[in-house]
């Protein structure tokens, strides 16, 4: 299982947790499993075409999935996934 870290403004949808474990052998599988567990997340994370919304970024062990294999990037036990959203506050 990989460990997923959530941004503060999304914590509300995941029982106020900031970090928890999710199964999945790829990023896509992990997100699918996440949405099964927390259905209200779906429309927040994905657009109507099922693509990840562009104001989110996903990092696996500190590397952007754009530099890996996108949503098909493979995951290993204890990988650290960071889901990051834009924030404007200042």
3-state SS assignment for residue 73: coil
What number of CA atoms fall less than 13 Å from residue 49's CA on the CB side? Answer: 4
What is the CA 31 to chain-centroid distance, rounded?
A: 6
DSSP type of residue 56 = E
Binding site for other proteins (CB under 8 A): 5, 7-9, 12-13, 18-19, 40, 44, 53-55, 57, 59, 62-64, 66-67, 82, 84-90
Nearer to other proteins, 40 or 78 (CB): 40
Nearer to other proteins, 23 or 40 (CB): 40
CB of 66 to other proteins, least distance (A): 7
């Amino acid at each position: 299982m990989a460990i997923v870290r959530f941004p503060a403004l999304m914590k509300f949808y995941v029982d106020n947790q900031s970090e928890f474990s999710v199964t999945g052998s790829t990023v896509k599988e992990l997100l699918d499993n996440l949405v099964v567990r927390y259905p209200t997340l779906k429309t927040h994370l994905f657009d109507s075409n099922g693509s990840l919304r562009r104001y989110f970024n996903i990092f696996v062990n500190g590397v952007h999935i754009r530099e890996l294999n996108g949503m098909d990037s493979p995951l290993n036990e204890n990988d650290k996934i960071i889901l990051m959203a834009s924030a404007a506050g200042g």
